[in-house]
């Protein structure tokens, strides 16, 4: 007797579960159709943007790789990176973002000086940090829009090393800039570079009781100290 | 004699306690009249920052005098295959912990990968020395109970930095302890704690050796190394918990930057 009721119970449960699953599937199907309908309606321009975003990253990455692969002197290399970074990064937005909570504290003069220093800081720091990736190929995987305005995009890519090192995942956060794009931030193995700098910048100011000049002098020191010889820095 | 040692130990503990309390007490609260300072303080979520910075400097000193030199020698002397083998063994030994956390997160596909890796690498891979599983489509991944708690919605908590262990906010510190309980070797080596300690140290050297230039470069180029590491730690934990998936709503809103 208990066996029978057990079988009945489980049969009932199966029935309930399967009809529930069917209903879910039907809802998902309808939702999917509705979604693809709206998506198709607004796609042509978007699809172009996504392809262009991928091409932009592909082009930028191969430019960086050819700079790293060349036999040029470190000075020449840094000046090549300077041009590449200034042309392709949204330096102003990066600079404002990395100020974080302190964006409203500097005077207009301090702000102008800061934005100039940040530009220099980024060129110095990242042309140095990039030397680590000298044996690489970049494979652009896919692009997706970020937000609803159609002005921001995330492009996923993977760096493969010729040395057999494990591949590194890199995500590019792009902002549409006229017909082209500018890089706002880059995520390497899960770490967004601008967010890291923002944390450090905020810490310098708060350690110095809100004195904005402390950040300016630390940036100056760092720019002066970071050797132009990126190769020597890597060794 | 026993008394002398006892009171000496006691006074040492008292001194240490007083020092730590003083350091922790020094944590500067932001100026209540300065909204930017308050917002920055909350964003950092690091209420015992002076104590954390003290331990951070302690570890940095230990790194300079011990860990880094050992890692450099290890990296320079051993051939690549030997280093890879050691890393494979360490990874393979961690499989039970990874498997337990894969399952607790309901990640059944990843659990299968972990179990298969353990099976293949322990047999064909000669006790874990090699990693033939990766070539067969079972790539390595890590998991720990701190991440499991994260997927369950447990927040990280305030930042906390410990000697030797490094960044250990409450969630991840709890995770570290639970993982010890998940690890069969904890019980197998119950009477030989020195084996566990040795394994911990070798793992540390291996990790440090694999990041020699990266860590140096970050230290050299950071205007505040401590704050940079804090951000690196939090961001990489977030990425690990999401298994590489990016939650767009979690990214900062930059519409107002003009």
Q: What is the pLDDT of residues A78-130, one digit of tens each?
A: 899 999 999 999 999 999 999 988 988 999 999 999 999 999 999 999 988 88
Q: Comparing B35 with B66, which gets the higher pLDDT?
A: B66
Locate tokens 């050796």: which residue? B209
Q: Comparing A196 with B29, which gets the higher pLDDT?
A: A196
Partner A contacted by B246 (CB < 8 A): yes
Beta bridge partners of A181: A176
Q: Which of residues 43-102 of A touch B (CB under 8 A)?
A: 93, 96-97, 100-102
Q: Are A123 and A85 in contact (CB under 8 A)?
A: yes
Q: Which residues of chain B are within 8 Å of residue A234 when distances are taken between CB atoms? A: 213, 217
Quote the CA–CA distance of A194 and B2 in Å, as a whole number. Answer: 57
Q: Which residues of chain B are within 8 Å of residue A192 when distances are taken between CB atoms? A: 235
Most confident of A41-50, A134-143, A158-167: A134-143
Quote the CA–CA distance of A145 and A173 in Å, as a whole number. Answer: 10
Residue B121 per-residue DSSP state: H
Locate tokens 């090699």: which residue? B130
In the A/B pair of chains, how many CB contacts fall below 8 A? 113
pLDDT confidence band for A234 (50 / 70 / 90) = very low
pLDDT-wise least confident of A3-17, A21-35, B93-107: A3-17
Q: Which residues of chain A are within 8 Å of residue B34 when distances are taken between CB atoms? A: 210
CB atoms within 10 A of CB A200: 23
Query: In chain B, what are the domain boundaries?
Result: 48-243
Cα–chain center distance at B237:
9
**pLDDT of amino acid A133:** 76
**pLDDT of amino acid A230:** 45
pLDDT confidence band for A235 (50 / 70 / 90) = very low
CB pair distance less than 8 Å for A203 and B227: yes
Supply the mean pLDDT for chain B.
89
Quick: pLDDT tens for A179-214. Answer: 899 999 999 989 999 999 999 999 999 999 889 999
Quick: pLDDT tens for A13-33. Answer: 554 445 555 555 555 555 555
Measured distance between the N- and C-terminal CA atoms of chain B, rounded to whole angstroms: 72
Q: Which of residues 163-222 of A touch B (CB under 8 A)?
A: 169, 171, 173, 184, 187, 189-192, 195-207, 209-210, 215, 218-219, 221-222
**pLDDT of amino acid A40:** 46
Q: Which residues of chain B are within 8 Å of residue A207 when distances are taken between CB atoms? A: 224
Partner B contacted by A104 (CB < 8 A): yes
State the ipTM, two decimals.
Answer: 0.84
Across the interface, of A102, A129, A191, the residue whose CB is closest to B235 is A191
CB pair distance less than 8 Å for A209 and B214: no
H or E segment and range at residue A23:
helix A2-41
Per DSSP, the three-state class of B163 is coil
Quick: pLDDT tens for B125-160. Answer: 999 999 999 989 999 999 999 999 999 999 999 999
**pLDDT of amino acid A4:** 46
Chain A, nearest residue to B221 by Cα: A125
Across the interface, of B37, B227, B254, the residue whose CB is closest to A97 is B254
**pLDDT of amino acid B161:** 97
Across the interface, of A132, A169, A209, the residue whose CB is closest to B217 is A132
Is pTM beyond 0.90? Reply is no
**pLDDT of amino acid B257:** 80
* Average pLDDT, integer, range A153-175: 90
Q: Which residues of chain B are within 8 Å of residue A203 when distances are taken between CB atoms? A: 44, 224, 226-227
Partner B contacted by A125 (CB < 8 A): yes
Partner A contacted by B109 (CB < 8 A): no
What domains can be seen in chain A, in order of their start residue? Answer: 43-234 (3.10.450.710)
């Amino acid at each position: 007797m208990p066996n029978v009721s057990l079988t009945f119970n489980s049969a009932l449960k199966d029935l309930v579960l399967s009809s529930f699953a069917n209903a879910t599937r039907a809802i998902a199907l309808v939702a999917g159709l509705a979604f693809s309908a709206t998506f198709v309606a607004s796609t042509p321009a978007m699809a172009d943007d996504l392809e262009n975003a991928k091409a932009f990253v592909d082009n930028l990455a191969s430019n960086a790789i050819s700079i790293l692969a060349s036999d040029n002197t470190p000075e020449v290399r840094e000046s090549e990176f300077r041009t590449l970074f200034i042309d392709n990064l949204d330096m102003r937005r990066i600079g404002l973002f990395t100020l974080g909570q302190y964006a409203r504290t500097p005077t207009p003069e301090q702000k102008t000086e800061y934005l100039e220093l940040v530009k220099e800081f980024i060129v110095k720091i990242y042309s140095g940090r990039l030397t680590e990736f000298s044996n690489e190929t970049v494979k652009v995987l896919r692009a997706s829009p970020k937000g609803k305005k159609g002005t921001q995009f995330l492009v996923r890519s993977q760096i493969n090393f010729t040395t057999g090192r494990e591949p590194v995942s890199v995500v590019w956060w792009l902002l549409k800039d006229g017909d082209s794009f500018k890089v706002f931030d880059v995520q390497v193995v899960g770490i967004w570079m601008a967010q890291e700098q923002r944390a450090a910048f905020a810490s310098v100011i708060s350690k110095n009781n809100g004195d904005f000049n402390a950040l300016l002098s630390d940036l100056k020191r760092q720019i002066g100290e970071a050797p132009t010889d990126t190769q020597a820095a890597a060794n | 004699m026993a008394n002398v040692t006892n009171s000496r130990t006691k006074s040492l503990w008292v001194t240490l306690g007083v020092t730590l309390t003083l350091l922790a007490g020094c944590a500067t609260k932001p100026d209540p009249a300065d909204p930017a300072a308050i917002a920055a303080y909350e964003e950092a979520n690091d209420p015992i920052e002076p104590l954390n910075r003290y331990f951070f400097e302690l570890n940095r000193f230990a790194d300079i005098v011990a860990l880094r030199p050992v890692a450099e020698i290890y990296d320079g002397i051993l051939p690549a295959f030997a280093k890879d083998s050691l890393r494979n063994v360490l990874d393979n030994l961690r499989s039970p912990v990874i498997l337990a956390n894969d399952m607790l997160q309901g990640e059944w596909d990843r659990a299968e990968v972990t179990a298969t890796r353990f099976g293949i690498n322990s047999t064909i891979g000669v006790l874990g020395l090699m990693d033939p599983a990766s070539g067969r489509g079972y790539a390595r991944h890590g998991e720990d109970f701190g991440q499991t708690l994260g997927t369950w919605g447990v927040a990280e908590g305030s930042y906390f930095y410990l000697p030797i262990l490094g960044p250990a906010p409450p969630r991840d510190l709890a995770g570290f302890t639970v993982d010890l309980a998940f690890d069969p070797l904890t019980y197998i080596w119950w009477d030989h704690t020195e084996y566990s300690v040795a394994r911990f140290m070798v793992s540390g050297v291996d990790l440090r050796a694999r990041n020699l230039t990266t860590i140096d470069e970050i230290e050299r180029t950071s205007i505040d190394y401590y704050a940079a590491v804090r951000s690196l730690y939090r961001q990489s934990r977030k990425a690990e918990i999401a298994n590489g998936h990016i939650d767009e709503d979690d990214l900062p809103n930059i519409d107002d930057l003009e």
